[in-house]
Structure 1
């Protein structure tokens, strides 16, 4: 049964009781439960909150907002806006944990600052202002985007946990919060069904569960009109159902690991809240493909904090993710490996990743007490719907080679032109790499997206064919993708390029500890191989390149010496997000491949 089917199958009295008692059933008690809050771990939160009080509040300036239109810079406004939400959330947590008036005042200051923003929308999404030819948002026509959703989430959960104390300390603030939430989020959600993230046109992506989940919290905790609250929740359930049904049955995520946390994991948070308020009667966890979706992070793990990154995402993402969400997901589906992976990251994650998630984590004793065991690293994972194979030398270990091979098409969410590309990691550390996400700017999601070098196919591990890169669009795809055993992928890349005929085989020879890439093409096709490399080249000669990896190991690339040494380029990395992962430079090996076939091998180098 679908999510929507399960919701509608509940007895009307059960749904009514769930909505009317949502604040009591959400699992997060208010500030007056002092014995509970005083017993929670508070060190990191209070340390951060105390440090915040020594700094001025972030300033949100029109000149920074306008930079999106002036020079394409998004972060000048989005960063301080995020800091305001983060600081307010930290103060709310500190107030709940301590009950102190200083943190309650700090939280109230932040909540009112959020209410006083002209817009909660990020400039990159403010199409209403763009349509008017302006750079100033109109409060009378609010745009419901991720920024608005993230802001109302803070207001909703703050109201839930601090409500009685806010009424006593700052009477009127909660009325203001409800008014702003209604005007900026709830009414636009109910009255305008043209929002692209609803997915009514069949195009679903992470905005859907991300925004729906926060609208759900706003309706349950802030809306006092029972009729309107029910309308909102029914629409939220329909939207979440639409998203889940659009996800592949294999549990894959075409947006990649980084956006899994803001796609499927956002879905899980919203479904968990609905399940809580129905006292478990909703039980969405057996809806396909929920169990498979929970396994995606372990399938993408390379080990040591490195992950397979396709599309926009970092190969070494910040560990500050809401791993408690995944742990509860695993508990509800009975998947011990899902729980084990989550528990392994519990003490590495210290940031407040969303106020609602932080509050739920604080009161989850099973999460706090979960045993930490070695991270589950599957020997092989094949996701046929998204066409992604990940194979490692030995299951349960990051030692040796791990190989990831991608098919798909060039019209995926957060797309890079990377059909047929692969990642090879030695002892968990990528050597032949996907560079991942650069800092977003005004062109990141525009028709100029492929001016960015890191999303172009010539900066992925695929060839240039007949002098042409891959192009963007669903017509450019892999065909005949077949997996043999659990360690060899074969695919036809002829339809990934405007001309030429090309087949690729990528395999991991576990016995000899070799990664092997073989390309074959029809006569008359010209192939120039491209390989993107992280680390430090230490030897380069015809048929051989030795690289010291970012982890300190040695990897040797080998090919037919008759093809020469090829061209080894070094490119300075001028993007902060990329530099944090790969360092100040990356390299690209370019080889004219000769007649009809080419073979590359990767082995462990010797010192």
Structure 2
């Protein structure tokens, strides 16, 4: 049964009670119930108060028109999105500090932040403000609000702040809650109801993380801020419809073509919204058996390499922040009774509760006593994971990990990477996917593939007859064959990924031989130049071999036919802060020209037991 069918299978009485009693049923006491807040995890409370105290020593972040306009002037997004995010983060921290402490100075700080949010001309980020762009302007019009991620993230703070601080705000700053409700209705709820053209609704069949991300925040705004029960019910019904559309579009294998980093803002946002709906119906909604929710919960453990590293495809860092809302995943694991999912989350139980992840996530996490009693343990790393719908194999063994993908070049957050392989030694990637650069005006424009990190020539795939891969759904992998045994492998035909040539790749993790093999074979008359992107420091480079000291301190050896010579080893400075945070100041690319007379190439990657520098 789909989410939508489950929702409408509930009696009208149950659905009406869910809206009418949402504040009580959410399971979060308001801050006047001091005993409930004073018994929260004290390590977390101390960290919240310390962060709030440090904030009070600094001026409030300001959002400026000149920074907003930079998106159109020079393509820079971060000049505005940074301070806007800083204001949301600081307000979130102040709300949490007010709730856990009950002190008026933090109530005042929370009220200041909430009012500053209400007074912003727009909650939309410049990169999404198509209404202003259509007018050839760089100034948003408050009379025509655009409902994007920025608006959703902002109304989420107002909604959860109203839930936990509402009566206190009425006592301390009468009128603020009325202003918050008015702004939420004007900027979010009415646009959501009155205009169904928003691209993120997925009415055209194109679904991505915006759908659950925005729907979940709209849901909280309707339940906690809105006072008109008819309007609330209309919004909640449409939210369930939208979430149902997103879930139906996800692959049955639980894969996420947007990658692990966006999983937290896609499937994980979906699960958080479903958790809230389940709570306000007193568990009668019970969506957790809907396909593919159980498989989606297992995605993070399938993508984990260890030591904070993850398989990253598309726009995503290989070493994302570990300060994720792991309690969300732990609850999800409890709902589906999956010990492995709970163990994956519990391995990170000692991570701080970050305000960066949103006020709702922080509040729900604070009151999850089962989570705080969970015992951290090792990551449950599956030996082999094959996701047939997104065409991704991840295999581990003897200190090596191989991830290899098929897919096509019109995936969400796409990089041109059909057939690309990632190889990690002792959890640390050595053959790498560079991942997400800092977003600018060209990131999601027709100029996207001018960025070097998204082009196939900067992925671990060949250049065929002088051509790299191109974007578009017509460029895809075919003829996939997977084997999962002592030597896990994925065979993939790459011929339809290029405008000419017949190329087939087989990537194998051979546990007995303790090596990864990447073998390409091609037809007569086709010529290949093999490209491999490398992180770490080259230690030895000679004909047929390259030895790398990895970023994790291990030593990896890449080997090929010495008759091909040493190849060309390029050194490239990393000119992007996000990328440098992961890979350091430089990466390398090995290019090996297979020559005109060959029809086969083989690269092996092994782990050397001792460093060549010892």
Relative to the length of structure 1, the TM-score reads 0.99
Equivalent residue runs for 1:453-492 within 5 Å: 453-486=452-485, 487-492=488-493
**Structure 1: 5+ residue runs without aligned partners?**
395-399
In the alignment, which residue of structure 1 is the partner of 2:379?
375
Supply the distance in 2 between the matched residues of 1:348 and 1:393 (Cα, whole angstroms). 27
Q: Is it true that 1:365 corresponds to 2:357 in the alignment?
A: no
After superposition, the Cα gap between the structure-2 partners of 1:545 and 1:436, relative to the gap in structure 1 and judged at 3 Å, is same
Q: CA deviation at 1:593?
A: 1.3
Match of 1:118 in 2: 121
Residues 1:344 and 2:343 are matched in the alignment: no
What per-residue deviation string (whole Å, max 9, x for no partner) do you get for residues 175-200 of structure 1? 00000000000000000000000000
In structure 2, the partner of 1:504 is 505
Is 1:225 the counterpart of 2:228? The answer is yes
**CA pair 571-391 structure 1, distance change in 2 beyond 3 A:** same
Asked whether the equivalents of residues 212 and 243 of structure 2 are also in contact (C-alpha less than 8 Å), the reply is: yes
Give secondary structure in 2 for the equivalent of 1:570.
strand
Deviations 1:285-319 (A, max 9, x none): 00000000000000000001000000000000001
- For 1:28 and 1:79, the matched residues in 2 are separated by 30
Instruction: Map Cα deviations across residues 336-367 of structure 1 (whole Å, 9 max, x no partner).
Output: 11001101112124421110010000011000
Distance, in Å, in 1 between the alignment partners of 2:60 and 2:352 is: 24
1:69 alignment partner, SS class: helix
Say which SS state the counterpart of residue 311 (structure 1) adopts: coil
SS state at 2:442 partner: coil
| In the alignment, structure 1 residue 74 sits paired with structure 2 residue 77 | yes
Secondary structure of the corresponding residue to residue 532 of structure 1: strand
- Aligned partner of 1:543 in structure 2 is 544
- Partner residue, 1:422: 421
Which residue pairs with 2:522 in the alignment? 521
Question: Given the alignment, which residue of 120, 131, 134 partners 2:134?
Answer: 131
Distance 2:270 2:606 in 1: 41
Name the counterpart of 2:64. Answer: 61
Distance 1:347 1:60 in 2: 34
- Report SS of the residue matched to 2:350: helix
* Counterpart position of 1:235: 238
Deviations 1:38-85 (A, max 9, x none): 111301100100000000000110000000000000000001100100
Q: In the alignment, is the contact (CA less than 8 A) between 2:349 and 2:375 conserved in 1?
A: no
| Secondary structure of 1:176's aligned partner | helix
CA–CA distance in structure 2, aligned partners of residues 453 and 592 of structure 1: 20
Instruction: Say what the alpha-carbon RMSD is for the aligned residues.
Output: 0.7
Residues 416-455 of structure 1 aligned to structure 2 (within 5 Å): 416-455=415-454
Report the secondary structure of 2:548's partner residue: strand
**CA contact under 8 A between 1:314 and 1:581: conserved in structure 2?**
yes
User: C-alpha distance in 2, partners of 1:49/1:484?
Assistant: 53
SS in 1 for 2:324: coil
Q: Give distance in 1, aligned partners of 2:210 and 2:27.
A: 25
CA distance in 2, matches of 1:379, 1:272: 30
1:7-406 alignment runs, 5 A limit: 7-41=7-41, 42-352=45-355, 353-393=357-397, 400-406=399-405
> 1:476 is paired with a residue of what secondary structure?
strand
Alpha-carbon distance, 1:496 to partner: 0.4
Give the conservation status (yes or no) of the 8 Å contact 2:384–2:484.
Answer: no
- Aligned counterparts of 2:363 and 2:446: Cα–Cα separation in 1: 40
CA distance in 2: counterparts of 1:200 and 1:485, whole angstroms: 38
Shift of 1:371: 1.1
Which deviates more, 510-519 or 478-487? Answer: 478-487
Give the secondary structure class of the aligned counterpart of 1:48.
Answer: helix
Q: Structure 2 stretches of 5 or more lacking a match?
A: none
* Separation (CA, whole Å) in 2 of partners of 1:160 and 1:60: 26
TM-fit CA distance, 1:574: 1.1
User: Structure 1: how far apart are the matches of 2:36 and 2:250?
Assistant: 39
**2: distance between equivalents of 1:83 and 1:574?**
24
Name the CA distance, whole Å, in 1 between partners of 2:550 and 2:351: 24
Distance 1:604 1:24 in 2: 56
SS at 1:347 equivalent: coil
> 1: distance between equivalents of 2:304 and 2:424?
11
Secondary structure in 2 aligned to 1:13? Answer: helix
Asked whether the equivalents of residues 319 and 349 of structure 1 are also in contact (C-alpha less than 8 Å), the reply is: no
Alignment check: 8 A CA contact 1:219 1:232 kept: yes
The answer to whether the Cα contact below 8 Å between 1:257 and 1:297 also exists between their aligned partners in 2 is yes
Q: TM-score, normalised by structure 2?
A: 0.98
Runs of 4+ in 1 over 6 A off after TM superposition: none
CA distance in 2, matches of 1:520, 1:278: 57
Task: Quote how far apart the aligned CAs of 1:328 are.
Answer: 0.2
1:11 deviation in Å?
Answer: 1.1
Contact 2:353 2:362 in 1 (8 A): no
Q: Deviations over 1:410-429 (max 9, x none)?
A: 00000000000000000000
Paired residues, number:
602
Q: Secondary structure at the match of 1:425?
A: strand
